[in-house]
Amino acid sequence: MLKTLKSFDYHQELIESVINLKAGPLGANLLAPLFIFYILKDFAPMFLLIPWLVLQILIYIIRMIIAYKAVKVLYIADKNCINRYLKYYLYVVFANSFLLGLSSLFAIVYAGELQLFILVALTFALITGSISTLTPIFHSVFIFIVTNVSIFILALVFVGATYTYYLVALFLGFFLILSLPSGYKIHRSLVKGINQREEIEELNRSLEEKIQMRTHELFEKSKQLEELNKTLDQRVQDESKKLYQNEQLLIQKSRQAAMGEMIGNIAHQWRQPLNALGLVLQNMQFTYQMDELNDEYMDKSVDKGKKLITSMSKTIDDFRDFFKPNKQKEYFLIAQTIEDSIELISASYENSQIKIHTEFDKSIQMNGYPSEFSQVILNILSNAKDALVEYKKDKRHIYICNYEKNDKAIIEIRDNAGGIPKEVITKIFDPYFTTKEEGKGTGIGLYMTKTIVESNMNGKLSVINQNNGAKFTIVFPLKKKKKQTI
Protein backbone atom coordinates (compact mmCIF):
# COMPACT_ATOMS: atom_id res chain seq x y z
CA MET A 1 0.00 0.00 0.00
CA LEU A 2 2.81 2.42 0.94
CA LYS A 3 4.65 1.56 -2.28
CA THR A 4 1.56 2.53 -4.31
CA LEU A 5 1.17 5.81 -2.40
CA LYS A 6 4.83 6.69 -3.05
CA SER A 7 4.93 5.79 -6.74
CA PHE A 8 2.08 7.98 -8.10
CA ASP A 9 2.21 6.02 -11.36
CA TYR A 10 -1.24 5.20 -12.76
CA HIS A 11 -2.37 3.73 -16.04
CA GLN A 12 -4.35 6.05 -18.30
CA GLU A 13 -7.41 3.81 -18.13
CA LEU A 14 -7.44 4.00 -14.33
CA ILE A 15 -7.20 7.79 -14.43
CA GLU A 16 -9.97 8.00 -17.02
CA SER A 17 -12.30 5.78 -15.00
CA VAL A 18 -12.05 8.17 -12.04
CA ILE A 19 -12.09 11.60 -13.67
CA ASN A 20 -14.98 10.57 -15.92
CA LEU A 21 -17.21 9.93 -12.90
CA LYS A 22 -20.47 11.84 -12.81
CA ALA A 23 -22.58 10.24 -10.08
CA GLY A 24 -19.76 10.13 -7.49
CA PRO A 25 -18.89 13.85 -7.54
CA LEU A 26 -22.57 14.75 -7.75
CA GLY A 27 -23.27 12.79 -4.58
CA ALA A 28 -20.19 13.85 -2.61
CA ASN A 29 -20.13 17.57 -3.66
CA LEU A 30 -23.82 18.42 -4.08
CA LEU A 31 -26.34 15.90 -2.77
CA ALA A 32 -24.52 15.03 0.47
CA PRO A 33 -23.79 18.73 1.33
CA LEU A 34 -27.43 19.67 0.58
CA PHE A 35 -28.63 16.87 2.87
CA ILE A 36 -26.22 17.96 5.64
CA PHE A 37 -27.38 21.56 5.21
CA TYR A 38 -30.99 20.41 5.58
CA ILE A 39 -30.47 18.46 8.84
CA LEU A 40 -28.28 21.18 10.43
CA LYS A 41 -30.12 24.33 9.27
CA ASP A 42 -32.18 24.50 12.48
CA PHE A 43 -29.13 24.13 14.71
CA ALA A 44 -25.93 25.57 13.20
CA PRO A 45 -25.54 29.29 12.38
CA MET A 46 -26.31 30.21 8.77
CA PHE A 47 -23.18 32.34 8.51
CA LEU A 48 -21.27 29.03 8.78
CA LEU A 49 -23.55 26.72 6.81
CA ILE A 50 -24.12 28.91 3.76
CA PRO A 51 -20.40 29.58 3.02
CA TRP A 52 -19.72 25.88 3.68
CA LEU A 53 -22.38 24.85 1.13
CA VAL A 54 -21.22 27.43 -1.45
CA LEU A 55 -17.66 26.12 -1.15
CA GLN A 56 -18.88 22.58 -1.83
CA ILE A 57 -20.70 23.75 -4.95
CA LEU A 58 -17.61 25.64 -6.16
CA ILE A 59 -15.48 22.56 -5.53
CA TYR A 60 -17.90 20.50 -7.60
CA ILE A 61 -17.66 22.96 -10.50
CA ILE A 62 -13.84 23.02 -10.31
CA ARG A 63 -13.79 19.24 -10.15
CA MET A 64 -15.84 18.95 -13.35
CA ILE A 65 -13.65 21.51 -15.16
CA ILE A 66 -10.45 19.67 -14.21
CA ALA A 67 -11.98 16.36 -15.28
CA TYR A 68 -13.07 17.82 -18.64
CA LYS A 69 -9.60 19.21 -19.41
CA ALA A 70 -7.81 16.10 -18.22
CA VAL A 71 -9.87 13.79 -20.43
CA LYS A 72 -9.02 15.88 -23.52
CA VAL A 73 -5.26 15.48 -23.04
CA LEU A 74 -5.19 12.08 -21.33
CA TYR A 75 -4.04 10.05 -24.36
CA ILE A 76 -2.02 12.74 -26.15
CA ALA A 77 -0.07 14.59 -23.44
CA ASP A 78 3.11 13.44 -21.73
CA LYS A 79 3.21 11.81 -18.30
CA ASN A 80 4.11 15.00 -16.43
CA CYS A 81 1.14 16.90 -17.86
CA ILE A 82 -1.27 14.08 -16.99
CA ASN A 83 0.12 13.80 -13.45
CA ARG A 84 -0.31 17.57 -13.02
CA TYR A 85 -4.03 17.34 -13.80
CA LEU A 86 -4.32 14.30 -11.55
CA LYS A 87 -2.78 16.24 -8.65
CA TYR A 88 -5.26 19.09 -9.21
CA TYR A 89 -8.06 16.54 -9.09
CA LEU A 90 -6.73 15.08 -5.82
CA TYR A 91 -6.56 18.59 -4.29
CA VAL A 92 -10.25 18.99 -5.07
CA VAL A 93 -11.04 15.56 -3.55
CA PHE A 94 -9.14 16.61 -0.42
CA ALA A 95 -11.07 19.90 -0.17
CA ASN A 96 -14.39 18.10 -0.55
CA SER A 97 -13.44 15.50 2.06
CA PHE A 98 -12.17 18.20 4.45
CA LEU A 99 -15.43 20.13 4.24
CA LEU A 100 -17.46 16.94 4.76
CA GLY A 101 -15.40 16.19 7.86
CA LEU A 102 -15.91 19.76 9.04
CA SER A 103 -19.69 19.22 8.99
CA SER A 104 -19.25 16.69 11.81
CA LEU A 105 -17.82 19.49 13.94
CA PHE A 106 -20.96 21.59 13.26
CA ALA A 107 -23.15 18.68 14.34
CA ILE A 108 -21.21 18.08 17.57
CA VAL A 109 -21.11 21.75 18.58
CA TYR A 110 -24.59 22.90 17.56
CA ALA A 111 -26.84 19.84 17.05
CA GLY A 112 -27.82 16.76 19.02
CA GLU A 113 -26.92 13.08 18.96
CA LEU A 114 -29.64 12.27 16.39
CA GLN A 115 -28.13 14.62 13.82
CA LEU A 116 -24.67 13.28 14.64
CA PHE A 117 -25.70 9.66 14.09
CA ILE A 118 -27.30 10.68 10.78
CA LEU A 119 -23.95 12.17 9.77
CA VAL A 120 -22.16 8.95 10.85
CA ALA A 121 -24.49 6.90 8.63
CA LEU A 122 -23.95 9.34 5.75
CA THR A 123 -20.18 9.08 6.24
CA PHE A 124 -20.36 5.29 6.01
CA ALA A 125 -22.37 5.58 2.81
CA LEU A 126 -19.90 8.07 1.28
CA ILE A 127 -16.90 5.91 2.20
CA THR A 128 -18.52 2.81 0.77
CA GLY A 129 -19.31 4.70 -2.42
CA SER A 130 -15.75 6.03 -2.67
CA ILE A 131 -14.35 2.49 -2.36
CA SER A 132 -16.43 1.41 -5.35
CA THR A 133 -15.72 4.50 -7.50
CA LEU A 134 -12.36 6.05 -6.51
CA THR A 135 -10.25 2.90 -6.00
CA PRO A 136 -8.75 2.95 -9.54
CA ILE A 137 -6.72 5.93 -8.24
CA PHE A 138 -5.81 4.71 -4.77
CA HIS A 139 -4.53 8.16 -3.75
CA SER A 140 -8.03 9.58 -4.22
CA VAL A 141 -9.84 7.00 -2.08
CA PHE A 142 -7.07 7.21 0.54
CA ILE A 143 -7.33 11.01 0.74
CA PHE A 144 -11.13 10.98 0.81
CA ILE A 145 -11.47 8.36 3.55
CA VAL A 146 -8.56 9.39 5.79
CA THR A 147 -9.34 13.13 5.69
CA ASN A 148 -13.07 12.78 6.27
CA VAL A 149 -12.88 10.13 8.99
CA SER A 150 -9.85 11.66 10.75
CA ILE A 151 -11.57 15.06 11.17
CA PHE A 152 -14.73 13.29 12.35
CA ILE A 153 -12.79 11.26 14.95
CA LEU A 154 -10.83 14.32 16.20
CA ALA A 155 -14.05 16.31 16.58
CA LEU A 156 -15.70 13.47 18.52
CA VAL A 157 -12.73 13.00 20.86
CA PHE A 158 -11.69 16.60 21.54
CA VAL A 159 -14.99 18.47 21.14
CA GLY A 160 -17.65 15.88 21.99
CA ALA A 161 -15.72 14.43 24.94
CA THR A 162 -18.44 12.01 26.12
CA TYR A 163 -18.43 8.24 26.35
CA THR A 164 -20.99 7.99 23.56
CA TYR A 165 -18.83 10.11 21.27
CA TYR A 166 -15.75 8.08 22.24
CA LEU A 167 -17.54 4.89 21.21
CA VAL A 168 -18.57 6.44 17.89
CA ALA A 169 -14.98 7.59 17.35
CA LEU A 170 -13.70 4.08 18.12
CA PHE A 171 -16.21 2.58 15.67
CA LEU A 172 -15.16 5.05 12.97
CA GLY A 173 -11.52 4.15 13.60
CA PHE A 174 -12.22 0.45 13.10
CA PHE A 175 -14.14 1.26 9.93
CA LEU A 176 -11.18 3.32 8.67
CA ILE A 177 -8.75 0.44 9.34
CA LEU A 178 -10.97 -2.04 7.52
CA SER A 179 -11.96 0.11 4.55
CA LEU A 180 -8.47 1.11 3.36
CA PRO A 181 -7.20 -2.49 2.80
CA SER A 182 -10.46 -3.30 1.01
CA GLY A 183 -10.00 -0.36 -1.34
CA TYR A 184 -6.37 -1.32 -1.90
CA LYS A 185 -7.30 -4.90 -2.84
CA ILE A 186 -9.81 -3.61 -5.38
CA HIS A 187 -7.17 -1.24 -6.77
CA ARG A 188 -4.60 -4.03 -7.12
CA SER A 189 -7.11 -6.30 -8.88
CA LEU A 190 -7.86 -3.53 -11.38
CA VAL A 191 -4.14 -2.95 -12.02
CA LYS A 192 -3.55 -6.68 -12.41
CA GLY A 193 -6.42 -6.96 -14.88
CA ILE A 194 -5.05 -4.14 -17.04
CA ASN A 195 -1.52 -5.60 -16.96
CA GLN A 196 -2.76 -9.02 -17.97
CA ARG A 197 -4.82 -7.58 -20.80
CA GLU A 198 -1.86 -5.56 -22.09
CA GLU A 199 0.35 -8.64 -21.95
CA ILE A 200 -2.22 -10.55 -23.99
CA GLU A 201 -2.47 -7.69 -26.49
CA GLU A 202 1.32 -7.57 -26.78
CA LEU A 203 1.43 -11.31 -27.33
CA ASN A 204 -1.28 -10.99 -29.98
CA ARG A 205 0.67 -8.26 -31.75
CA SER A 206 3.83 -10.33 -31.61
CA LEU A 207 1.95 -13.36 -32.86
CA GLU A 208 0.43 -11.41 -35.74
CA GLU A 209 3.88 -10.16 -36.75
CA LYS A 210 5.27 -13.67 -36.62
CA ILE A 211 2.34 -14.98 -38.63
CA GLN A 212 2.88 -12.29 -41.25
CA MET A 213 6.59 -13.07 -41.41
CA ARG A 214 5.90 -16.77 -41.56
CA THR A 215 3.26 -16.27 -44.25
CA HIS A 216 5.73 -14.31 -46.33
CA GLU A 217 8.39 -16.99 -45.84
CA LEU A 218 5.94 -19.72 -46.81
CA PHE A 219 4.92 -17.77 -49.90
CA GLU A 220 8.55 -17.45 -50.96
CA LYS A 221 9.23 -21.09 -50.26
CA SER A 222 6.13 -22.18 -52.15
CA LYS A 223 7.40 -20.31 -55.19
CA GLN A 224 10.73 -22.09 -54.87
CA LEU A 225 9.00 -25.43 -54.47
CA GLU A 226 6.95 -24.88 -57.58
CA GLU A 227 10.14 -24.34 -59.52
CA LEU A 228 11.73 -27.48 -58.10
CA ASN A 229 8.69 -29.75 -58.35
CA LYS A 230 9.43 -30.89 -61.88
CA THR A 231 12.77 -32.44 -60.93
CA LEU A 232 12.08 -33.10 -57.26
CA ASP A 233 9.29 -35.68 -57.46
CA GLN A 234 11.58 -38.58 -58.28
CA ARG A 235 14.14 -37.54 -55.66
CA VAL A 236 11.41 -37.31 -53.03
CA GLN A 237 10.18 -40.80 -53.89
CA ASP A 238 13.70 -42.22 -53.68
CA GLU A 239 14.45 -40.52 -50.37
CA SER A 240 11.06 -41.49 -48.95
CA LYS A 241 11.73 -45.12 -49.86
CA LYS A 242 15.14 -45.01 -48.17
CA LEU A 243 13.70 -43.30 -45.11
CA TYR A 244 10.93 -45.89 -44.87
CA GLN A 245 13.41 -48.73 -45.14
CA ASN A 246 15.63 -47.18 -42.44
CA GLU A 247 12.67 -46.64 -40.15
CA GLN A 248 11.50 -50.22 -40.63
CA LEU A 249 15.00 -51.43 -39.81
CA LEU A 250 15.07 -49.31 -36.67
CA ILE A 251 11.61 -50.48 -35.67
CA GLN A 252 12.68 -54.09 -36.14
CA LYS A 253 15.78 -53.56 -34.01
CA SER A 254 13.73 -51.76 -31.38
CA ARG A 255 11.27 -54.65 -31.26
CA GLN A 256 14.11 -57.16 -30.94
CA ALA A 257 15.58 -55.16 -28.08
CA ALA A 258 12.14 -54.93 -26.47
CA MET A 259 11.69 -58.68 -26.84
CA GLY A 260 14.98 -59.24 -25.05
CA GLU A 261 13.82 -56.94 -22.26
CA MET A 262 10.51 -58.80 -22.18
CA ILE A 263 12.18 -62.19 -21.73
CA GLY A 264 14.27 -60.82 -18.87
CA ASN A 265 11.23 -59.28 -17.22
CA ILE A 266 9.22 -62.50 -17.60
CA ALA A 267 12.07 -64.35 -15.91
CA HIS A 268 11.96 -61.94 -12.98
CA GLN A 269 8.17 -62.10 -12.79
CA TRP A 270 8.23 -65.90 -12.79
CA ARG A 271 11.00 -66.32 -10.21
CA GLN A 272 8.77 -65.96 -7.14
CA PRO A 273 5.84 -68.16 -8.31
CA LEU A 274 8.32 -70.82 -9.51
CA ASN A 275 9.96 -70.87 -6.08
CA ALA A 276 6.52 -71.12 -4.48
CA LEU A 277 5.53 -73.97 -6.85
CA GLY A 278 8.75 -75.79 -6.01
CA LEU A 279 7.94 -75.52 -2.30
CA VAL A 280 4.46 -76.95 -2.92
CA LEU A 281 5.95 -79.97 -4.69
CA GLN A 282 8.58 -80.48 -1.97
CA ASN A 283 5.91 -80.31 0.72
CA MET A 284 3.82 -82.88 -1.17
CA GLN A 285 6.85 -85.20 -1.43
CA PHE A 286 7.70 -84.77 2.24
CA THR A 287 4.11 -85.39 3.31
CA TYR A 288 3.99 -88.51 1.12
CA GLN A 289 7.22 -89.82 2.70
CA MET A 290 5.79 -89.22 6.15
CA ASP A 291 2.68 -91.19 5.08
CA GLU A 292 0.50 -88.17 5.87
CA LEU A 293 -0.68 -87.42 2.33
CA ASN A 294 -4.48 -87.44 2.24
CA ASP A 295 -7.18 -86.21 -0.16
CA GLU A 296 -7.65 -82.89 1.63
CA TYR A 297 -3.93 -82.05 1.62
CA MET A 298 -3.64 -83.18 -1.99
CA ASP A 299 -6.57 -81.01 -3.13
CA LYS A 300 -5.20 -78.01 -1.23
CA SER A 301 -1.75 -78.40 -2.77
CA VAL A 302 -3.14 -78.88 -6.27
CA ASP A 303 -5.32 -75.73 -5.91
CA LYS A 304 -2.33 -73.71 -4.77
CA GLY A 305 -0.28 -75.00 -7.68
CA LYS A 306 -3.06 -74.13 -10.13
CA LYS A 307 -3.23 -70.57 -8.76
CA LEU A 308 0.51 -70.14 -9.18
CA ILE A 309 0.38 -71.51 -12.74
CA THR A 310 -2.58 -69.19 -13.53
CA SER A 311 -0.57 -66.24 -12.23
CA MET A 312 2.36 -67.20 -14.45
CA SER A 313 0.03 -67.60 -17.43
CA LYS A 314 -1.44 -64.15 -16.74
CA THR A 315 2.10 -62.73 -16.82
CA ILE A 316 2.57 -64.13 -20.33
CA ASP A 317 -0.81 -62.68 -21.40
CA ASP A 318 0.08 -59.26 -19.98
CA PHE A 319 3.33 -59.15 -21.93
CA ARG A 320 1.62 -60.42 -25.09
CA ASP A 321 -1.06 -57.70 -24.82
CA PHE A 322 1.63 -55.11 -24.23
CA PHE A 323 3.38 -55.92 -27.51
CA LYS A 324 0.12 -56.14 -29.47
CA PRO A 325 0.03 -52.99 -31.69
CA ASN A 326 -2.93 -50.57 -31.63
CA LYS A 327 -4.38 -50.01 -35.10
CA GLN A 328 -6.59 -47.06 -34.15
CA LYS A 329 -6.31 -44.24 -31.65
CA GLU A 330 -8.39 -44.61 -28.52
CA TYR A 331 -8.94 -42.76 -25.25
CA PHE A 332 -7.02 -44.23 -22.33
CA LEU A 333 -6.17 -43.21 -18.77
CA ILE A 334 -2.54 -42.15 -18.54
CA ALA A 335 -2.00 -43.17 -14.91
CA GLN A 336 -3.55 -46.61 -15.40
CA THR A 337 -1.40 -47.29 -18.47
CA ILE A 338 1.78 -46.26 -16.61
CA GLU A 339 0.84 -48.44 -13.63
CA ASP A 340 0.23 -51.41 -15.94
CA SER A 341 3.66 -50.84 -17.52
CA ILE A 342 5.34 -50.66 -14.12
CA GLU A 343 3.61 -53.88 -13.09
CA LEU A 344 5.32 -55.68 -16.01
CA ILE A 345 8.81 -54.75 -14.81
CA SER A 346 8.32 -54.43 -11.06
CA ALA A 347 10.08 -57.69 -10.19
CA SER A 348 13.13 -56.82 -12.30
CA TYR A 349 13.44 -53.41 -10.66
CA GLU A 350 12.96 -54.81 -7.18
CA ASN A 351 15.72 -57.31 -7.92
CA SER A 352 17.96 -54.37 -8.89
CA GLN A 353 17.01 -52.61 -5.62
CA ILE A 354 15.33 -49.74 -7.49
CA LYS A 355 12.33 -48.09 -5.82
CA ILE A 356 9.75 -46.48 -8.11
CA HIS A 357 7.77 -43.58 -6.56
CA THR A 358 4.55 -42.49 -8.26
CA GLU A 359 2.27 -39.49 -7.88
CA PHE A 360 -0.64 -39.61 -10.33
CA ASP A 361 -3.69 -37.63 -11.29
CA LYS A 362 -5.78 -40.67 -12.20
CA SER A 363 -8.49 -38.68 -13.99
CA ILE A 364 -6.38 -37.49 -16.96
CA GLN A 365 -6.98 -39.32 -20.21
CA MET A 366 -5.70 -38.78 -23.73
CA ASN A 367 -6.37 -39.94 -27.27
CA GLY A 368 -3.62 -42.09 -28.74
CA TYR A 369 -2.06 -45.54 -28.84
CA PRO A 370 -1.80 -47.06 -25.34
CA SER A 371 0.55 -49.84 -26.45
CA GLU A 372 3.01 -47.39 -28.00
CA PHE A 373 2.68 -45.11 -24.97
CA SER A 374 3.58 -48.08 -22.72
CA GLN A 375 6.63 -48.73 -24.89
CA VAL A 376 7.68 -45.08 -24.41
CA ILE A 377 7.40 -45.39 -20.62
CA LEU A 378 9.30 -48.69 -20.52
CA ASN A 379 12.07 -47.37 -22.79
CA ILE A 380 12.66 -44.37 -20.50
CA LEU A 381 12.46 -46.53 -17.37
CA SER A 382 14.91 -49.01 -18.94
CA ASN A 383 17.44 -46.22 -19.53
CA ALA A 384 16.97 -44.98 -15.98
CA LYS A 385 17.48 -48.52 -14.64
CA ASP A 386 20.70 -49.00 -16.64
CA ALA A 387 22.06 -45.67 -15.39
CA LEU A 388 21.17 -46.45 -11.76
CA VAL A 389 22.70 -49.92 -11.86
CA GLU A 390 25.91 -48.58 -13.44
CA TYR A 391 26.44 -45.36 -11.48
CA LYS A 392 24.49 -45.79 -8.20
CA LYS A 393 25.42 -48.43 -5.64
CA ASP A 394 22.49 -47.88 -3.28
CA LYS A 395 19.43 -45.69 -2.68
CA ARG A 396 18.30 -46.06 -6.27
CA HIS A 397 15.09 -44.13 -6.94
CA ILE A 398 12.84 -43.31 -9.89
CA TYR A 399 10.07 -40.73 -9.56
CA ILE A 400 7.07 -40.64 -11.91
CA CYS A 401 4.24 -38.11 -11.87
CA ASN A 402 1.61 -36.76 -14.23
CA TYR A 403 -0.53 -33.62 -14.20
CA GLU A 404 -2.58 -31.38 -16.48
CA LYS A 405 -1.60 -27.82 -17.37
CA ASN A 406 -2.93 -25.49 -20.07
CA ASP A 407 -4.92 -28.30 -21.77
CA LYS A 408 -1.83 -30.49 -21.93
CA ALA A 409 -1.05 -33.79 -20.24
CA ILE A 410 2.46 -33.77 -18.75
CA ILE A 411 4.38 -36.85 -17.58
CA GLU A 412 7.70 -36.46 -15.75
CA ILE A 413 10.13 -39.34 -15.11
CA ARG A 414 13.16 -38.53 -12.95
CA ASP A 415 16.00 -40.63 -11.48
CA ASN A 416 18.91 -39.97 -9.12
CA ALA A 417 21.65 -41.59 -11.20
CA GLY A 418 23.75 -38.43 -11.47
CA GLY A 419 22.38 -37.01 -14.71
CA ILE A 420 23.52 -37.04 -18.34
CA PRO A 421 26.89 -35.48 -19.27
CA LYS A 422 26.40 -31.98 -20.69
CA GLU A 423 28.40 -32.76 -23.82
CA VAL A 424 26.04 -35.57 -24.90
CA ILE A 425 22.64 -34.55 -23.49
CA THR A 426 21.64 -32.95 -26.82
CA LYS A 427 22.52 -36.15 -28.73
CA ILE A 428 20.75 -38.87 -26.73
CA PHE A 429 17.72 -38.89 -29.06
CA ASP A 430 19.88 -39.36 -32.17
CA PRO A 431 19.70 -42.80 -33.87
CA TYR A 432 22.53 -45.20 -32.98
CA PHE A 433 23.88 -42.88 -30.29
CA THR A 434 24.59 -44.60 -26.97
CA THR A 435 26.70 -43.91 -23.89
CA LYS A 436 26.82 -47.61 -22.97
CA GLU A 437 29.74 -49.92 -23.59
CA GLU A 438 29.97 -51.64 -26.96
CA GLY A 439 27.55 -54.54 -27.17
CA LYS A 440 25.36 -53.29 -24.30
CA GLY A 441 23.30 -50.71 -26.16
CA THR A 442 21.86 -50.27 -29.65
CA GLY A 443 21.33 -46.50 -29.52
CA ILE A 444 17.81 -46.73 -30.93
CA GLY A 445 15.65 -46.96 -27.79
CA LEU A 446 15.39 -43.24 -27.07
CA TYR A 447 15.30 -42.40 -30.77
CA MET A 448 12.25 -44.64 -31.25
CA THR A 449 10.76 -43.23 -28.05
CA LYS A 450 11.01 -39.68 -29.38
CA THR A 451 9.65 -40.81 -32.77
CA ILE A 452 6.61 -42.43 -31.14
CA VAL A 453 5.90 -39.39 -28.93
CA GLU A 454 6.38 -36.67 -31.53
CA SER A 455 5.51 -38.33 -34.86
CA ASN A 456 2.86 -40.86 -33.88
CA MET A 457 1.16 -39.10 -30.95
CA ASN A 458 1.77 -35.36 -31.67
CA GLY A 459 3.57 -34.86 -28.37
CA LYS A 460 6.88 -33.47 -27.19
CA LEU A 461 9.73 -35.29 -25.43
CA SER A 462 12.60 -33.46 -23.72
CA VAL A 463 15.25 -34.13 -21.09
CA ILE A 464 17.17 -32.01 -18.58
CA ASN A 465 19.45 -32.66 -15.63
CA GLN A 466 17.78 -31.90 -12.32
CA ASN A 467 18.37 -32.78 -8.65
CA ASN A 468 21.39 -35.04 -9.33
CA GLY A 469 19.58 -36.98 -12.03
CA ALA A 470 17.96 -36.89 -15.46
CA LYS A 471 14.35 -35.75 -15.86
CA PHE A 472 12.41 -36.76 -18.98
CA THR A 473 9.29 -34.68 -19.69
CA ILE A 474 6.54 -35.86 -22.06
CA VAL A 475 3.85 -33.38 -23.13
CA PHE A 476 0.71 -34.37 -25.02
CA PRO A 477 -2.12 -32.07 -26.19
CA LEU A 478 -5.44 -33.08 -24.68
CA LYS A 479 -8.69 -33.43 -26.58
CA LYS A 480 -11.77 -32.52 -24.58
CA LYS A 481 -13.63 -35.56 -23.31
CA LYS A 482 -15.52 -36.20 -20.12
CA LYS A 483 -13.06 -37.34 -17.48
CA GLN A 484 -13.30 -40.70 -15.75
CA THR A 485 -11.92 -41.75 -12.41
CA ILE A 486 -10.52 -45.07 -11.43
pLDDT in tens, 330-369: 899 999 999 988 887 777 788 888 999 999 999 999 988 8
DSSP-assigned letter for residue 191: H
Q: Minimum mean pLDDT among 244-258, 289-303, 360-374: which range?
A: 244-258
Determine the Cα–Cα distance for residues 3 and 214; give it in Å rounded to an integer.
43
CATH number of the structural domain spanning residue 420: 3.30.565.10
Which one is predicted more confidently, 227 or 143? 143
Q: Is residue 199 part of a domain?
A: no
- In whole angstroms, give the CA distance from residue 48 to residue 65: 26
Q: Domain ends where: 161, 184, 202?
A: 161
3-class DSSP state of 322: helix
Give domain status of residue 176, yes or no.
Answer: no
The pLDDT score that the predictor gives to residue 391 is 82
pLDDT value at 249 more than 90: no
| Residue ending a domain, choose from 133, 161, 189 | 161
Q: What domain range is 381 assigned to?
A: 325-477
In a domain, 446, yes or no: yes
Domain boundary among 161, 184, 208: 161
Q: Which residues pair with 332 in a beta bridge?
A: 366
Q: Is 249 a member of any domain?
A: no
CB atoms within 10 A of CB 442: 18
Question: What digits encode the pLDDT tens for the residues 171-223?
Answer: 888 888 888 888 778 878 887 888 888 888 888 888 888 888 888 888 888 77
Residue 486: predicted pLDDT: 47
Query: Does the residue 404 lie in any domain?
Result: yes
Query: Is residue 106, in this structure, part of any structural domain at all?
Result: yes
Question: 137 or 436: which carries more pLDDT confidence?
Answer: 137
Q: Is the pTM of this model over 0.85?
A: no
- What is the overall mean pLDDT for the chain? 80
CA distance between the termini of the chain: 48
Residue 227 placed within a domain: no
Domain count, the chain: 2
- Domain assignment of residue 111, yes or no: yes
Q: How many CB atoms lie within 10 A of CB 477?
A: 14
